[in-house]
Structure 1
Amino acid sequence: MSVARPLTRAILALGSNLGEREGTLQSAVAELVDCPEVRLLNVSPVITTKPVGGPVGQPDFLNMVIAVDTTLSAMELLVHCQSVEQAHHRTRAVRWGARTLDVDIIVYGSVVSADPVLTLPHPRAAERAFVLYPWSLMDPHAMLAGKPVSELAAAAADMAGISHVQDVPLPQAP
């Protein structure tokens, strides 16, 4: 007899700056929740942002955040996210380089972990407007490390690089 695992709320950040960015984000959201262990709860608007770090001359990113409930462990969710990235031809040749798809686990419940494979909450999330701003649009009451996500977004150095919200049709939470 198997024991049902509890649901854990996770926030996932998605970004793309190569190829058909809108289609990639649409497909990635659908693929992330196309398994019985992951249920879509909420979807942020898609924003356009300047690249942060990495090589100069990269195209702008489309970024978004989704909230899911999952019975997967944090490491299983990481493997699932990476498999979706690979399905979209993600390569990791250059740190913070251009990519077809990036999926990061920002928070996984209240788990705090310094594991080098999966640090939780995401170690740079509290300073990245490209994660914080769409998250605050999706959930104006969201908190990260005891601080309102909207306040963290407003203080983030890359907030000025957010140019507009894209109108990309995405799967809707039930």
Structure 2
Amino acid sequence: MTDENGEPEAQAERKPKLNPREALGGFIDSNPVFKHVGKEGVPKFYARVGVNHFRRGENGIPVKAGTTYHHLVAFREAAEAANDRLARGDHFIALGYVHEYQNRQGTPDEEFIAMRIGHDAMETDYAVFRDINQQPSRRKPPAVDRTQAFTPPNRTTPAREPESLSR
């Protein structure tokens, strides 16, 4: 399109189509805590996590430069997924954002709020089921009716064969 002078109109500033988030990769350093919070009982996952840092050494070989420790928090579906799949020592990748706050002592602190979280494929061996018939069910199995008392079937003890027939 052109403007009133016949010049091409300046294109409107393009917004990126991607919605980038911050990412955090590390390992679960503490035993995770899962609980329901608030009046609505929102699922919450919390873990202390470690992040290994590297620098380029001689010949471009990465050299470990240290480890920092941080708070990782997830809510709702992300919390349930993290609780089901992650344990102490697991390596993970999380997408989300950093939330700055003041801790109980009044000191500035930060936590990473994970909106999506899973195992780090570079550090974790796992299987991927691509065939729909091989996939484990994501639904919970139906509850077993345990209200009826168990009565064992009547079984008769087999008679022993006479000593003269056994060798």
Q: The TM-score by the shorter chain falls in which range? A: under 0.3
Q: What's the TM-score once normalised by structure 1's chain length?
A: 0.21
Higher strand content, 1 or 2: 2
- Bigger radius of gyration, 1 or 2? 2
Higher helix content, 1 or 2: 1
Q: What's the TM-score once normalised by structure 2's chain length?
A: 0.22
